[in-house]
Structure 1
Amino acid sequence: MSNRPKRYDVNLPRNLTFRKAKQIYSWRNPITGQEISLGRIPRKDAIAQAIEANSYIEQNFVPSALLDRLKDNPEFTFSKWLERYEVIQARRNLKPTTIRIRTNQIQTLKAEFGRASISRISTREIAVFLETYIECGKRNMAVALRSLLLDIFREAVVEGLIEKNPVEPTRTPSPEVKRERLSLEQFIAIRQAASKMGSWLVNAMNIGLLTGQRREDITRMAFSDINSDRLFVTQSKTGHKLALPLSLELKAISLSLSGVIEACRVENDSDNLIYSSAKKGGRKPGAISPGWLTQAFAEARLQSGIEFGPNPPTFHEIRSLASRLYEVERDESFAQKLLGHKTMTMTKKYLDARGQEYVMV
């Protein structure tokens, strides 16, 4: 058996440790090295289970001779399979941001299941692992990790390493809705506050409401993207291509895309629609970055005097507001096309007002 790692609390039984960050107990199998989460349970229960497990190991473990161990075929570990899975994932042509997020998630899974045989990872172990994130208030992370685990084991089934996917029976955690929706009245009030900070912020908010695009795509829009009375947009996140007519308008706020674009030309000799000639906070005159757009919107939101909850709407919520306004003035399918969603399911998430609007009776 391997020696007890130094990180274990001397006041706990062998192989038992307490993770302060997650507030959970974990027991490490001294033979396989696999660490099993016991979840958030009382200290005395964790100690009792660890003593029982240690006793079982000591009574049933018979060390094999070195030659027998050399002859034995090693099991295909989860960590080994992840090396193959990363090759499969590389063929999917994912966006750099997605690859970065997946890489971090894979490292998290490797730390939890890496040394275990992929054929022996049970549904129970996965469920307990996901539950630790839910208990810590990281429900969205649990959703993301379950989705990734589901795909990892699905590919293992395809290649014949395992017969069934142990993730499928687990429940899909419901992601928490944290950010407040933005109403049209709140948008107008924040825009009024933004007018005192610079015309570029007002223009960015108006374009966001008219086009329903993400902040990254709004800050990349250029006058050279306009051709044949249309603004051509390639969404940076999805690669989805849109040709928006300059005649596009929202009657609810009396805005047209052509009018907003003309406003962007005022005191702007660059090709960028969203441009600031002012110096502020160390920022040089020029195109506006997505991060700076988010920061400026937050400042305008504060200056508006509106009292929001602990998770106030960000600039991205203008995208949801746009979809809801177009749903009323046009229909759901138009909102879906404008947002660039492949399915109506995703669009409906944006159309959900989360209790922000009244139901007309």
Structure 2
Amino acid sequence: MDQALEANLLISSLHSPARLVDRLTGAANRTCYDWYLRYLDILEKRKVKPGSLISAKDQLRAAMRTWGDRTLESITVLDVADLLKTWTEAGKERMASMVRSRLVDYFREAIAAGWIHHNPAEATKVHGVRTKRQRLTKEMFLAILAQAEQDKQRTWAASAFKLALISGQRREDVASMAPEDVRDSHLHVIQEKTGMMLRLPLTLKIDLLPQTLGEVIEECLAGNIPNPQTFIHARKIALRTQPGQTLRPALITRAFADARDRAGFGNDANPATFHEIRSLSSRLYEATHGKGFAQRLLGHKSANTTDLYLDARGAEWVTIHHKEQ
């Protein structure tokens, strides 16, 4: 796609001679597509995952087709707003929101490099974006956990849910946690998505569970399986999976959804998924240890990102104390 796009832009440029002022200032050599190529290099230097790099290209594809041969500084708020209409008018507000976020970052990096002086994407808005997933409450989690504890086929499921709650980590990280990661009385986690390196004390405890992190890990390893690859592993032969082998993250997601449905919480238009355990974890830790602790545990560099997880979206009651002023 990139080569075809580059060829089309070259053809277009033959019919779009640069203004004299742009040639004199050098802006003619700073087109949107020129910056697009540099922006991809920046993303690679950030060490983003291959899937995230593919998503970035997809999110910028329409912009490059529309503006590729234009100078970067010529793009206006109206240009961005008109581009976003491509999706909003088709009822794809979520996609429009993702494209807008990508463009904000695209232009922000250009400002940092001195190519432009303002960010035309920041002033735009995408209306009509609705929260998709139902938030997970404490009561819901306990009911889902009770269902998982009765699952005779997936005897690892309840332990996986508890490990996710007490550690506050993502599905992929929970699935890859292994005995070799425990040393110096800490569980060492390198987040797959961000590369963030965390050391979680085995004494870590969350109010909703009676166990510490170390005790949950012991529960994961209590199946008498020799040399398990990870904490969450197959306990018996199933679908070519041998006892002790690592389970695919998708299986953990499926186990949660099944337990959720059996607990009666699957009828919402957008029911809670396994990922909502991470939000519940952050809210519980924020209540007992503060927002800063929750941010460090989740591995967020930005407090704004943590705020998204701490937002209960109206799913929890707010208690008013008599002594509040």
TM-score range, shorter chain: 0.7 to 0.9
Q: Deviations over 1:158-183 (max 9, x none)?
A: 66665654334333668531111111
Q: 1:311 — aligned with what?
A: 270
Q: CA deviation at 1:257?
A: 1.3
Q: Deviations over 1:201-250 (max 9, x none)?
A: 11100001111111111011011111122111111111212211111122
Structure 1 stretch displaced more, 336-345 or 76-85: 76-85
**Equivalent position SS for 2:199:** strand
Cα distance, 1:359–1:162 mapped onto 2, change above 3 Å: closer
Q: 1:272 — aligned with what?
A: 230
One-letter code aligned to 1:231 = L
Q: How many residues align?
A: 295
**Equivalent position SS for 1:232:** strand
Unaligned runs of 5+ in 2: 1-10, 321-325
Q: 1:338 — aligned with what?
A: 297
Q: 1:104 — aligned with what?
A: 58
Greater strand content: 1
Cα distance, 1:156–1:224 mapped onto 2, change above 3 Å: closer
Structure 1 stretch displaced more, 234-243 or 142-151: 142-151
What are the equivalent positions in structure 2 for 1:240-251 lying under 5 Å apart? 240-251=196-207
Identity, % of aligned pairs? 38
Q: 1:56 — aligned with what?
A: none
Based on CA coordinates, which of the two structures has the bigger radius of gyration?
1
Greater helix content: 2
Q: 1:92 — aligned with what?
A: 46
Q: CA deviation at 1:280?
A: 4.2
What are the equivalent positions in structure 2 for 1:10-29 lying under 5 Å apart? none
Cα distance, 1:95–1:173 mapped onto 2, change above 3 Å: farther
Q: CA deviation at 1:265?
A: 1.3
Cα distance, 1:263–1:162 mapped onto 2, change above 3 Å: closer
- In structure 2, how many angstroms separate the alpha carbons of the residues matched to 1:156 and 1:239? 24
Match for 2:166 among 197, 210, 213?
210
Structure 1 stretch displaced more, 221-230 or 96-105: 96-105
Is contact 2:220-2:232 (8 Å) kept? yes
**Comparing both chains, which one has the higher relative contact order based on Cα–Cα distances under 8 Å and sequence gaps of 6 or more?**
2
Is contact 1:143-1:174 (8 Å) kept? no
**Equivalent position SS for 1:202:** helix
Q: 2:210 — aligned with what?
A: 254
Q: 1:61 — aligned with what?
A: none
**Equivalent position SS for 1:236:** coil
Unaligned runs of 5+ in 1: 1-31, 35-63
TM superposition score normalised by structure 2: 0.79
Q: 2:185 — aligned with what?
A: 229
- In structure 2, how many angstroms separate the alpha carbons of the residues matched to 1:75 and 1:336? 43
Match for 2:80 among 118, 123, 126?
126
Is contact 1:143-1:175 (8 Å) kept? yes
**Equivalent position SS for 1:255:** coil
